[in-house]
Structure 1
């Protein structure tokens, strides 16, 4: 008896090492579907205690998603299949398609975040009870079934979990791209990929010649970047030494944008690192890239464990001793890179202009917001959610909670942004790239312009409060 399978693709927009697609392709006929869910775009409501409204997916993220979908469609068509694209809620779109092609089975990726799980439950409730539904865990390096302990029993600190995973777990081999069966008879029209105006996204697609890398969505671009970073530039060799860089193309891998939407499998990256170790060198840098993949896994499983508790003001630590401010004017200055603290301002301006900012810079900007301005960390997380091309909900909000000391970290205090700037931007190259008003100053003054007296400010053409903002906080307290 022949079987027809429908595949609801989510953040798994690839053909290589895609267990959801591979399993579905064991059917006689298969129909992949992707939905641009309108609930993800435009103004959104941050739920839970002390809720607030914020801007959802920005134009940069939406364009990256569109490119990823287009690339996947092209690959499936080259393989003799297709990808149906719809602008609508999955729980409204997919049941109609299942009925139209008389599907026997529905395959889908399952994800860790509460909202993502809700979408899955809504769809499962909307399809016929006799439809077989198969869920696939595909977003992490380690499969959920291969953890040393179930995720709901995992420790809340990274190091003991990492050591247990390294010693007691394994990474499954990536799957080859499957042979794609024919489409079902009477397959509906493939549909067009909705434009940014249709999606009603906010903002403009980043277009700045200072961008560290031109991010293009899709598995093709992801594989190109993997090949370039690991093999062509040989940058993996020194990753641990360069990973805290601020300016340039290859100080870090920048795989995260493709990992987030599933154009790149973490197991694919892991396998590539292993091949590099066999063929070139195994060192602290090759280990560190695997280390970072496990950090990513850690937050995925933490959100599977705690769910919506992560989004409370006091986080999973249920802290009641912190009283977050909701100062919209101060928050806007931070958003726009007008805090008067150049290292922070450079990070925020780069984010707005390009949709990307280094890990070191984004952490310092986040720490300044929560520890120096004492503003609700979730506001900052929502701002990053709007702009970051590599936004992953677990990594984003997990890291924000970590920095705000309401998540997976028991240490107190934030970053010393001035010493961080001196350490990681000693020549002020990063600062002056994004704060051009400070260009021409000696590095010490570019990092801390308030060190100039009134005469020096006038002589150098950088008068605080006129040419560059005065610092929002007392520099002696930073």
Structure 2
């Protein structure tokens, strides 16, 4: 290869286990490049909290690459225009990057970059980053290929990068310079590979002991979950090194319960790619219902839809446990999987909101937003896949089960401080005399429930099951299952037959079928 090799960093902000960087370094001088794309950061699923995590990771990556000889070069603009300037200035011998399964905007951008590379006879080397397979015809054998990918040796960082004299590394803009909407998130996790490595070490060495018992309750999940999800989403850690580190640690343990906890975590690492594969195979699921007969099911109808969305998004539904979860997410950028699923369920069923509307709000709040996982889960939890059991969360039972003493509610809803524990999960059960004696008033200090959640859930359930019994629904669901369903031996199938009801309660199987990488 003649000319400069360009390594285009995307959501893979690390020097280690980065095959494009290692392979490109074997062909001479290379330019490690990250392009800040203002249009991307104005998309409705992007946010300042995500950019701040990314920016911290870029600053750390620049330092790491500088220690190898050539710092990260950052440019702001349209990728193909940045690449064209590099082609005219240096000549390009090859373009290297990881494959990306991003949102619809990045998919369209990659198509433009591919067209630009073909136009100038530049080979674009796209190397898989996860266990996701591009141009996958069917799922048979997918789990075996995933295992093979995860077992590959971890690629070392290059020993040295040849410095490019006179090249300005470029400024990494602030959120204000990108004109991002102010997004206070005081409890946000910090970006950068050292932060990710420290979390991985603390999880495998200590915190994972309580993983299985602590992942469901928001009182324990913030400590007992790995908290690696933003580092996997932004690529400061590779999935391969997490999988291998987890398995090596498990082999060293003698405590059966601890080994079992790490096995559960290993299964969720598998599900990480299982869900991303759905978006890779069918990019339209970000925008369109997977089962066509569910299309338009929750189009905004009647008065109050916008108000219900706004109340849910602000943590002001009048359902204390739901509101506490939303406010914790707003403040920290993270929430454990069960509570994420509950927020989507309440929005979709009790509030009857379109899954795209609620999904976009959550996408902006999640620092660890991973489009493939996020949109697959939004559809799964809202009942639009056609292949997953309908799970309508009971928000009161969830609170009683996972926050029985109301610690989480009291932390995030200080306006309920005066409410006795017996009424904390259902403050509307207090009579007026009790409220007056406490100097507290429902509707003034805290909102009345914006819907009758029990009757709304019953209505939603009947509407969904009636739809599933329509002619042609089951045949289409079977085709969807064939295309997207799991084939992994030993894991429970991702759905029951589309015409059967779950016997395990409103939320059976969530943690087994979902993803909890927190």
Normalised-by-shorter TM-score class: 0.7 to 0.9
- In structure 1, the partner of 2:461 is none
Instruction: Give the structure 1 partner of residue 159 of structure 2.
Output: 179
Q: Determine if the alignment matches structure 1 residue 372 to structure 2 residue 345.
A: no
Matched, 1:202 2:181: yes
Residue pair 1:309, 1:316 contacting (<8 A) in 2 also: no
Find the counterpart in structure 2 of residue 221 from structure 1.
195
Match for 1:272 among 233, 240, 245? 245
SS of match in other structure, 1:360: helix
Q: Distance in 2 between matches of 1:91 and 1:418?
A: 51
Partner of 1:297: 273
CA 2–39 in structure 1, closer or farther in 2 if over 3 Å, else same? closer
* Larger mean Cα displacement after TM superposition, 382-391 or 128-137: 128-137
* Residues 77-117 of structure 1: per-residue CA shift (max 9 Å, x gap): 01111111011111111221233222211101222244323
Secondary structure of the residue aligned to 1:414 is: coil
| Equivalent residue, structure 1, for 2:67 | 78
User: Could you list the per-position Cα deviations for residues 224-275 of structure 1 after superposition, in whole angstroms to 9, with x for gaps in the alignment?
Assistant: 11112222xx111231111112035412111001110111111111111122
Displacement of 1:144 in angstroms is 2.6
> Relative to 1, partners in 2 of residues 1:238 and 1:151: Cα closer, same or farther, differing over 3 Å?
farther
Q: Offset of 1:413 from its aligned partner?
A: 4.1
Deviations 1:428-452 (CA, angstroms, capped at 9, x unpaired): 1111111111124343311111121
What is the CA–CA distance in structure 2 between the aligned matches of 1:394 and 1:434, rounded to whole Å?
30
Deviation at 1:154, TM superposition (A): 2.0
Distance 1:280 1:144, change over 3 A: same
- The answer on 1:345 being equivalent to 2:323 is yes
Native 8 Å contact 1:310 1:316 kept in 2:
no
| 1:3 CA drift (Å) | 5.3
Shift of 1:457: 1.9
Relative to structure 1, the CA distance from residue 120 to residue 24 in structure 2 (aligned partners, 3 Å threshold; closer, same or farther) is same
Number of residue equivalences: 447
Q: Match of 1:240?
A: 212
- Displacement after TM superposition at 1:191 (Å): 0.4
Task: Verify: 1:400 aligned to 2:378, yes or no.
Answer: yes
| 1:287 corresponding residue in structure 2 | 263
Paired position in structure 2 for 1:137: 128
With structure 1 as the length reference, what TM-score do the two structures score? 0.88
Instruction: Report the aligned-residue RMSD.
Output: 2.3
1:98 corresponds to 2:87: yes
Post-superposition offset of 1:143? 5.4
From 185, 198, 204, the equivalent of 1:230 is 204
Counterpart residue number, 2:368: 390
Q: Distance in 1 between matches of 2:203 and 2:184?
A: 25
What is the alpha-carbon distance in structure 2 between the residues aligned to residue 456 and residue 399 of structure 1?
42
Change (3 A) 1:166 1:33: closer
CA offset digits 1:31-67 (Å, max 9, x no partner)? 110011111223x4xxxxxxxxxx4422211111110
Q: Tell me by how many angstroms 1:2 deviates.
A: 6.2
Distance in structure 1 (CA, Å) of the matches to 2:31 and 2:293: 45
SS of corresponding position for 1:135: strand
The answer for the alignment partner of 2:110 in structure 1 is: 120
What per-residue deviation string (whole Å, max 9, x for no partner) do you get for residues 123-178 of structure 1? 1222453222211111x2x2538xxxx733128xxxx976x678888632321222
Give the direction of change, closer, same or farther, for the CA distance of 1:218–1:440 in structure 2 (3 Å limit).
Answer: same
1:362 to 2:340 alignment: yes
Alpha carbons of structure 1 residues 24 and 143: separation in structure 2 relative to 1, 3 Å:
farther
1:386–1:170 distance in 2 versus 1, CA, 3 Å? closer
**Counterpart position of 1:47:** none
For 1:199, what is the secondary structure of its paired residue? coil
CA contact (8 A) 1:437 1:462 kept: no
Instruction: Tell me the distance in 2 between the aligned counterparts of 1:170 and 1:355.
Output: 28
Equivalent residues of 2:3, 2:90 under 8 A apart: no
What residue is the counterpart of 1:437 in the other structure?
415
Contact 1:151 1:302 (8 Å CA) reproduced: no
> Tell me, what secondary structure is at the counterpart of 2:218?
coil
Distance 1:408 1:19 in 2: 38
Partner residue, 1:18: 18
